[in-house]
Amino acid sequence: MRVADFFCGGGGFSEGFRQAGFEIVFAVDKWEPAVNTYRGNKPGVNVHLDDVIRISQLPDDQFEALVPDSEIIIGSPPCQSFSHSNKSGNADKSLGIQLIEAYLRIIARKKFKPNSVLHYWVLENVPAVKNYIKEEYTAADLGLEGDFVLRTRDGATGKYNAKYFGAPTNRERYLCGEFPKPAATKNDDNVISLKAVLDSLGDPLREDNDIITDINYPDLKIEAQKVTDQHYIYELADFECKTAKRLKQDKGYMGKMSFPENLDKPARTVMATMTASAREAMVLGYGENRYRLPTVREAACMMSFPIDYWFYGESKGIKHTLVGNAVPPKLSYAIAVAIANAEGQAIPSCYLPIHHDENDPDLPFLNLNGAKYEIRKEQPKRIVSKFKYHIPYLIYSAYRVELTNYHSKFDTSEFKWDVEIHYSQGKDKAKVLTPNVNKKSLSDELYERVKSYLEATTPMLPTTYNYFQKLYCMTSEERKAKNKYGPYELLDSIRKFIDASIPQEDHDKIVEIGENVQLPYAILAGYYTMSKIINRMH
């Protein structure tokens, strides 16, 4: 059976169908590295660098001349605007909806034409897209003539996790269209772990040329040094590790994430941007108190790409984007197998190797093996950088004490620092408190300790808001050289002071400080102490 792939990316969706023995007759994407990667791994396929929206709106004769008939159409419209990781799910959805409707327009034009051969179609995207795809589209909805209705949920529509289909990644996706239900091949007891992926490839800096057996395709074996984009290290700087750990394990009310990654579970969702200093950063241990990012090959194996799959990009970042934006081939293979079984079509009994043309002058390939990456140096921040963070790992009864410069006049560089108590989160529950707290709210012993702490820290703190802002924008090494506290150092210092001054069992003891205002004792102490420090500035 023939397959056409729209928004084909680097070919992950098509790869599963290729492995299942289907004939790929057409593919299109508007990003050149994706088209090159597709072409390099699927020689002979009619792949185009073009805009799917434009194609969907072509006159009938031009549309049919460009897009061949096929029994199956697959597609994965770009999902960034629908992802919860993009502006917490509040990104503009208009372009994403246009791309989905362009894909559905193509489906409708092929499905409802005279003598149509289209039997199956699948749309893949992030789970949140379900809320933006209607159950039915009329011809008018899609800007077409006719009286047909395209139903998007007639097949095995639903949410699927790639880890249950053999991919070593916890990647949930929404599939809709007309297709039979794919059969899971794994369960929670036998999913493939991140450790199994890393162990199968070995140390990225290995020098031997022993045979590597693909963790996802056991009959695929390649000499270690011939596995592309694997033999290099991207080590993280200390400041990157601190930022990533703080965001993963102390991000307000968001759940804690492992640092480094939990190797005993499948990999978390592989992101298109392999960033370091972020909550979603995928950080691997690298010796004692050292950390690194996954190689492109490791990420590709997490996504279930075979180790003979090449990614044609001019940089490490482009290659990671090709991997992170893809449909896991193991998931697409399960869909392909379900269709093949429904049609009584035979499935190859073993993995079908990819044959690359290494001498194709139009497809130069950059192999990252042997690449050297210097550890990043921390750079100063822009003077108008914003700050908002709480005393680290100090949250009781949904309260936390935050230090912020958000009330500054950034356009005129008039900076102001404030201390606030934040309660809970969400529109209905979140509150910001700035109570008037005096020494009567503290025990005599704690009050004396606060006085001593303030005296001891005064030399490390500036007397003006503007200088505190300047310190914040310096690098940590610059602050250390000046023996001065920036916001993070101040918060860390206050946390240590609280731990040393208040017994752990008293941290969450509720104290009434005014009418209808009750706070955990550690929160009260943190707020009082930091307010005294900030109020000394002007």
Domains of the chain: 2-186+326-343 (3.40.50.150), 194-302 (no CATH), 388-535 (no CATH)
Per-residue confidence (pLDDT) for residue 309, from 0 to 100: 98
From first to last of its 538 residues, the chain has per-residue pLDDT tens of 999 999 999 999 999 999 999 999 999 999 999 999 999 999 999 999 999 999 999 999 999 999 999 999 999 999 665 554 444 444 567 888 999 999 999 999 999 999 999 999 999 999 999 999 999 999 999 999 999 999 999 889 999 999 999 999 999 999 999 999 999 999 999 999 999 999 999 999 999 999 999 999 999 999 999 999 999 999 999 999 999 999 999 986 677 899 999 999 999 999 999 888 889 999 999 989 999 999 999 999 999 999 999 999 999 999 999 999 999 999 999 999 999 999 999 999 999 999 987 778 889 999 999 999 999 999 999 999 999 999 999 999 999 999 999 999 999 999 999 999 999 888 888 999 999 888 888 999 999 999 999 999 999 999 999 999 999 999 999 999 999 999 999 999 999 999 999 999 999 999 988 777 899 999 999 999 999 999 999 9
432-440, long-range: CB within 8 Å, 24+ apart, which pairs? 433/517, 435/513, 435/514, 435/517, 435/519, 435/527, 436/514, 437/513, 437/524, 437/527, 437/528, 437/531, 439/528
Per-residue confidence (pLDDT) for residue 88, from 0 to 100: 44
Contact 184, 165 (CB under 8 A): yes
**Is 176 considered catalytic here?**
no
Per-residue confidence (pLDDT) for residue 362, from 0 to 100: 86
Per-residue confidence (pLDDT) for residue 80, from 0 to 100: 62
DSSP 377: P
**Beta-strand pair 2-6/23-29:** parallel
Q: Which of 79, 176, 241, 301 is catalytic?
A: 79
Q: Return the axis-axis angle of helices 487-501 and 521-535, rounded to nearest 10°.
A: 140
Taking Cα atoms as reference points, which of 41, 108, 54, 124 lies closest to residue 336?
Answer: 124
* 338-370 core/surface letters (b: 16 or more CB in 10 A; e: else): bbbeeeeeeeeeebeebebeeeeeebebbebbe
Query: Which structure tokens are listed for 40?
Result: 């390099």
Per-residue confidence (pLDDT) for residue 281, from 0 to 100: 92
DSSP H stretches of helix in 325-422: 329-343
In sequence order, the β-bridge partners of residue 390 are: 402
Give me the count of residues in the chain. Answer: 538
* 475-495 core/surface letters (b: 16 or more CB in 10 A; e: else): eeeebeeeebbbbbbbbebbb
Taking Cα atoms as reference points, which of 321, 312, 327, 315 lies closest to residue 272?
Answer: 321
CA 376/CA 238 separation, integer angstroms: 9
The H or E element spanning position 451 is: helix 444-457
Per-residue confidence (pLDDT) for residue 415, from 0 to 100: 98
DSSP 361: T
Per-residue confidence (pLDDT) for residue 155, from 0 to 100: 86
DSSP 396: B
Say how far residue 386 (Cα) sits from the centre of its chain: 23
Contact 329, 10 (CB under 8 A): no
Angle, CA of 499, 504 and 505, to the nearest 5°: 155
Contact 378, 237 (CB under 8 A): yes
> Collapsing DSSP states into helix, strand and coil, what is residue 508?
coil
